[in-house]
Amino acid sequence: MSLNDTFKVGYVLKRYPRYSETFVVSEILAHEATGLAIEIFALRPPVDAYFQNIISEVRAPVKYLLSYDLRGSTLWATLEQASAIFPELWSKLAIARGEDVHDVYQAILLACEARTRGIAHLHAHFGTSATTVARLASHFAEIPYTFTAHAKDIFHESVQPDDLERKLRDAAAVVTISDYNLNYLNETYGQAAAKVQRIYNGLDLNQFTYASPQNRPLRIIAVGRLIEKKGFTYLIEACDLLRTRGYEFECHIVGAGDAKEDLQAQIEALNLQSDVALIGPRPQREIIEIVQSAAVLAAPCVVGTDSNRDGIPTVLLEAMALGTPCVSTDVTGIPEVLRHQETGLMVPQHDAIALAKALEKLLTDAQLRVKLATQARKVIETNFDIHCNAAHLRTIFRAAPVEAVQEVR
């Protein structure tokens, strides 16, 4: 009997599935390809109107830990039932002091599910509510937990340093997705971040076949949620500059989000309707085709006014794998994959003029497109293969000792 036959991991997610979180799905699929048993626990139901096609490939069952009605009798009855499984639950509840009652309730449900389903390890994505629930459930069920910290959960103005420090300290191990994040966590949280290590998000490269950008239509593509940190307002400004200079091109922005109306109004105010289009969300298969049909992908990411920012955008990795040269900015971990004039072109944040110049270079210089795309693909193959990176993650899961679960402080 192999280790995979007896070792079962519970993935804890705030919502599942989510249109924008293909990196989670790819990671789970890579685990399942090796025979690792996965079960998914979601704190909330999905709210997206669109879902990526690869979700249908996931075999793991999904359990929703819903907490809509928490009247005293419901919570009390759940505690009584759980204490039959965990006789020391009442004394362990001290760890939940100050936590949101919904998180505590869901953690109790998760602990019970973990015990009855034979879950040996819990792994959460994002150091927010999913990790809160995983941490508490880990304590109640006496199994270790780990989590992956991304970007918003580290940098956003809503992050509570004391809370994140507890999670870093109590986890058996912590993963983050860039060296930038790793350095920030070490500098900010000191010894509490001693167990953090960097594992890049990855791609299944069999799904992202390279094609030369030598002969591409004069098309700019951008993909992402229509929110401030994506910087699409600067892309629209850059397109206006290109049009003013007499260039013929088209720009398609794929995605949905709260900024849609503002971006559409900007397009109309600049009279760019014939050049720039917001084409809404698309399934991943179609996004692959769209990205690979473009001469350049623009990812003009910025640090938002609320300190929100991207980690390393998945679409940037996908474009580089597919052979589409990229223009981006120096936000967080992006320079670790997009190296200026080597694997792409880097421009300053908030700088539409520089962005327009970089786009112009790639629209007009096929030789430069090929050079950057060729070198970018090599970097993706070396550092961002999901099967290699997920294997590293599995070694962390299996090495996590039960003693890593900390007592209440």
Q: Residue 5: what pLDDT?
A: 56
Residues 33 and 63 in one domain: yes
Residues 75 and 173 in one domain: yes
Residues 241 and 378 in one domain: yes
Window from 20-24, 108-112, 218-222 with minimum mean pLDDT:
20-24
Residues 49 and 130 in one domain: yes
Cβ-count burial of 227 within 10 angstroms (0-12 exposed, 13-18 middle, 19+ buried)?
middle
Q: Is the separation of the CB atoms in 257 and 333 below 8 Å? A: no
Residue 70 lies in a domain: yes
CA–CA distances in Å: residue 373 to residues 78, 295, 297, 327, 369: 56, 11, 11, 11, 6
- Strands ordered across the beta sheet of 250-254: 276-280, 250-254, 219-223, 296-299, 326-328, 345-346
Chain mean position to CA 353:
29
Looking up residue 309, the CATH number of its domain turns out to be 3.40.50.2000
pLDDT of 105 > 80? The answer is yes
Residues 159 and 231 in one domain: no
Residue 409 lies in a domain: no
Residues 137 and 263 in one domain: no
Residues 57 and 92 in one domain: yes
Residues 61 and 28 in one domain: yes
Residues 45 and 105 in one domain: yes
Q: Residue 402: what pLDDT?
A: 61
Residues 333 and 390 in one domain: no
Residue 92 lies in a domain: yes
Residues 226 and 105 in one domain: no
pLDDT of 2 > 60? The answer is no
Express each pLDDT in 320-357 by its tens digit.
Answer: 999 999 999 999 999 999 999 999 999 999 999 999 99
Residue 349 lies in a domain: yes
Residue 378 lies in a domain: yes
Q: Residue 403: what pLDDT?
A: 47
Residue 128 lies in a domain: yes
pLDDT of 267 > 60? The answer is yes
Residues 177 and 276 in one domain: no
Residue 294 lies in a domain: yes
- For 154, the domain range is 3-202+386-404
Q: Residue 111: what pLDDT?
A: 97
Q: How many structural domains are present in the chain? A: 2
